[in-house]
Amino acid sequence: MIKDLKRAFGKDPEEETLRAHADLMMAKAEYRMSEEDDFGKWWPKIQATATLGRLSLAEQPHGNKLTEDTFQEALDRLRRSAKERSCLGPRLTHDCKYQEFLEAVRRGEQEKLASADLVKRYFSPVAWLNGDKLVEDLFKDFFVDNGMDRTFGLAMPHRHFDILPGQMMVNYNGTSTPWNVNPGEGMDEPQPAVWNFSSTGELIPTEFNYSKGHKVEMGEKERAFVASFKRLLDEKDLREIFGLCEYPGDDFEGTCGITMGSANINLKPKDYPEGLKGADTAGFFSPPLRKRGCRCTCDNRTAPHGHGAHVITQSA
């Protein structure tokens, strides 16, 4: 591959190779994602193109220079394209950091990896999965068969704003705001309501509910389910995309979260704004909620934020 790249550039390719290689992968991934739904269809085409060293300027939106700005621009285009096609939001590993991506390209050259292998490591296939189909085909039966459809829901971790150290997000009567970790005198401790997996694979609470005396029990059956859920997510490379949330009850009608300053307000369906474009944040699989199509969403009409790119800011 290096020999082909040298021939393409006609000079020492080290820096240009890294940048053009990265740009080529971004461009090809964007193009193929917009043209085809099936990840496998366009995979060999990327591999063949990159391996042959076809790095002409015509194939690259920014020539052979990939800067931090153009890198982010390409990512934003990918996200917009996926959002328009109702897919789960594209992501790169390592929080989409430009320098780390270039370093990965450098490691790939040293290891003589095919470009497709490198893309596969840094572009998650979940970006090209149909979200609704994934939930229906993979998770519905999993929750029901394990008897957890009235204990947990499937959550997509996301955030609306940052909170400070020593704070946690607590929901009370449909509005979530940052609370101090230590409750006020005479108050019960807020109880976990949303859980996500940390980078080390530990299930940790990231959002809480306040209701006196209320508590979600984590007994042996629940812990066994969590372990099975983690294995399923790891098998499908989805651990950073999905988590768990508390089941809201059979009478739940659905909500849509809107952000006002440092408060996330969960509107009931009768109060939804006109022209709402909701992005799913949680789904439930019990018969009554499935029948009514109830789910949690957040308003995504302006300043859309990426679901599945949650940064855990809750403090223990």
Answer yes or no: are the C-beta atoms of 265 and 280 closer than 8 Å: no
* CA gap 157, 196 in Å, rounded: 7
The two structure tokens encoding residue 98: 């430009």
- Mean of per-residue pLDDT scores for the chain: 65
**CA distances to 67, 123, 232 from 97, in Å:** 12, 13, 27
Tokens standing for 128? 């090209």
Confidence band for 289, pLDDT divided at 50, 70 and 90: confident
Q: Which among 40, 53, 46 has a CA at the least distance from the CA of 28? A: 46
Contact 29, 46 (CB under 8 A): yes
Rounded mean pLDDT, 57-67 = 39
| Greatest mean pLDDT among 11-20, 43-52, 293-302 | 293-302
* pLDDT one-digit tens code per residue, 180-234: 988 777 788 899 999 999 878 899 998 999 987 667 789 999 999 999 999 998 8
Taking the domains of the chain in order of start, what are their residue ranges? 2-128, 131-299
Q: φ, ψ for residue 184 (rounded to 5)?
A: -70, 165
Listed ranges 57-66, 112-121, 292-301, 307-316; the one with the highest mean pLDDT: 292-301
Count H helices and E strands in the chain, helices first. 10, 11
**Cα separation values, 305 from 62, 83, 202, 279, 294, Å:** 26, 11, 25, 9, 22
Extended strands (E) in 173-312: 175-180, 191-197, 203-209, 243-246, 255-260, 263-267, 278-283, 295-299
Residue 128 corresponds to which amino acid? W
Span 167-176, pLDDT tens digits: 999 999 989 9
pLDDT interval class at 130 (50, 70, 90): low
Tokens of 69: 């700005």
Q: Residue 10: its pLDDT value, please?
A: 45
